Amino acid sequence: MPDIVLVYCILIIGACLQCVIGFGLGLLCVPFLYWLLPELVPAPMILNALLITTLLAIKHRGEIDVKQTGYSIFGGVIGVLCAAAVMLYVDSEQYRLLLGGCLLLAAGLSLTGWTPKLTMLSNLIASILSGFIGTTTSAGGAPMGLLYQAQNRDKIKANLSIFFVFINLFGILALLVTGSADFNDILLFLKCLPAIIIGWGASYFVNNSINEKATRRLIILVASFSGLALIFIHH
């Protein structure tokens, strides 16, 4: 029972941060949930991300760049297909290493501070990486977040969210088709639903009272240490 309460607390914080700064649900929650309740990763967490990004995409729909979204969805589909193929051939031990490595990659990209120009090529590269990392770990926001970091807050949320609505939907379908996810993952997602809704609601109260830069760095730091722990410490 205490583990379930802790899982709910982690999901509430992650969902709230996702709504406030544009990412964080996967990057913050996945490392902890893998240790507490590993069956939540990746499929139920992808469904959690699908729900929260759908809510954000609807809220910020006026800031969506349709042209760039088209490029990013195309690249994301490529990343998802690559991830689905990889997931067919990894066992639990290999997945732990893959999860840790992808989290470190995502955190490393976020820490670079590099601000790439938003072009068709940069969009395709970032979206392929995000599609791959998002499908294997449900924490694929970093590459696209890096691409959009120079944009205003609402544009970041709108374009990352609409991208992940499509990619998370395609990703969960790919995992279902390849047998890497099943109906039990949907049931686990439904159990997480109250926490995600509470986190989304809480974001309305903290949206303008949080230091975004410090919060991003804290999430990245947590993800980095968690990625290292997954690689070097056995479950």
Peptide bond into 42 cis (omega under 30): yes
Distance CA 113, CA 147 (A): 10
Give Cα separations from 54 to 41, 165, 185, 196, 200 (angstroms): 20, 6, 19, 12, 11
Q: Give 80-92 pLDDT, tens digit per residue.
A: 999 999 888 888 7
| Residues 102-161: tens digit of each pLDDT | 888 887 877 776 777 889 999 999 899 889 988 888 777 778 877 887 777 788 889 989
Token representation of residue 216: 């991003």
pLDDT digits (tens, 9 = 90+) for 188-206: 999 999 999 999 999 999 8
Predicted model pTM: 0.86
Q: Give me the helices (H) in the chain, please.
A: 2-21, 25-36, 43-59, 66-87, 92-111, 120-137, 141-148, 153-177, 183-206, 212-232
What integer pLDDT is reported at residue 9 of this predicted model?
A: 96
**Tokens linked to 30:** 């996945």
Calpha distance 205→214 (Å, rounded) = 18
